[in-house]
Amino acid sequence: MREALKTDAEEVLLEAPVDERGLLERLAGLHPRQRDLFLASRVAVGDAYVRPGSPLQGLEAGVDIISPISGG
Amino acid sequence: MADQSHPAGEAVSLSQAPLDAAAMRAAASDPGAGAILVFEGTVRDHSEGLTGVVALEYEAHGSMALKILAGIVADARAAFPLRKAAVAHRLGRVELGEPTIVIAVSAAHRDEAYRASRYLIDRIKHEAPIWKREICADGTSAWSRGCTAEVHR
């Protein structure tokens, strides 16, 4: 994802609380060419995946977008 | 990225250096163990729709990966009567045939060791924020498609 977007970080203004899906949809809207990648990703805050459907909190410190993983 | 270990608790690590399966086996040794199982994932020469793979290159979200690995090992300890468990995952370029991950577990009986090892590798593949690029003999490379991470915690 870092290579696809050619950046390590991006600042996004959120006008209302969002959950994981809402944030990924927002990012997908900002980067339509990477839409599928964002929608297959997960959001992590403080080194932990957020629970799907939970409102995102602690966003001031930033979140990590975890694109599809392939370890092992 | 320098080699990293979980700061406390479970024996998990991310390493830029080749993994030492013998050392992992020794770490899992325990007087109460009737079975020690060492699983090595290795670099193979092909992937989905791809032949001529000569190496893999791994990247990780280091701090998060260590936390996730430690949590998975802790869950395995809770789910199975293990004596010891250790996980080491490679980072950086790993050549054909070399281990990419080593999982060593010990238990009083073989069944728990087999089941725990399978449990660990399955969860690691579905949860750890680690990515690999497949490098082919012709110099081309591509990130593995991978899977959307699962959320267990």
pLDDT of residue B1: 55
- Among residues 113-132 of chain B, which lie with CB inside 8 Å of chain A? 121, 124-132
- pLDDT string in tens for chain B (153-residue length): 568 887 766 799 999 999 999 999 999 999 999 999 999 999 999 998 889 999 999 999 999 999 999 999 999 999 999 999 999 999 999 999 999 999 999 999 999 999 999 999 999 999 999 999 999 999 999 999 899 999 876
pLDDT of residue B10: 79
Q: What is the largest CA-CA distance in chain B?
A: 50
Identify which of B124, B129, B143 has the shortest CB distance to residue A72. B124
Read off the pLDDT of residues A20-43 as tens digits, 9 standing for 90 and up: 999 999 999 999 999 999 999 999
- How many CA atoms lie less than 13 Å away from B118 in the CB half-sphere? 6
When comparing pLDDT for B94 and A59, which is higher? B94
Residue of A nearest to B90 (CA): A72
Residues in chain A: 72
Question: Beta partners for B89?
Answer: B14, B101
Q: Supply the angle between the helices B62-79 and B110-127 in degrees, to the nearest 10.
A: 150
Over residues A50-60, mean pLDDT: 86
Over residues A47-52, mean pLDDT: 94
Cβ–Cβ below 8 Å for A66 and B61: yes
Residue of B nearest to A49 (CA): B151
Whether B135 and chain A come into contact, CB under 8 Å, resolves to no
When comparing pLDDT for A14 and B132, which is higher? B132
Whether B101 and chain A come into contact, CB under 8 Å, resolves to yes
Q: B19: which 2 tokens? A: 């993994």
Instruction: Name every chain B residue with its beta carbon within 8 A of the beta carbon of A52.
Output: 151
**Is the pLDDT reported for residue A56 higher than 70?**
yes
Instruction: Looking at the complex, report in whole angstroms how far the Cα of residue A72 sits from the nearest Cα belonging to chain B.
Output: 5
Place of tokens 């403080």: A46
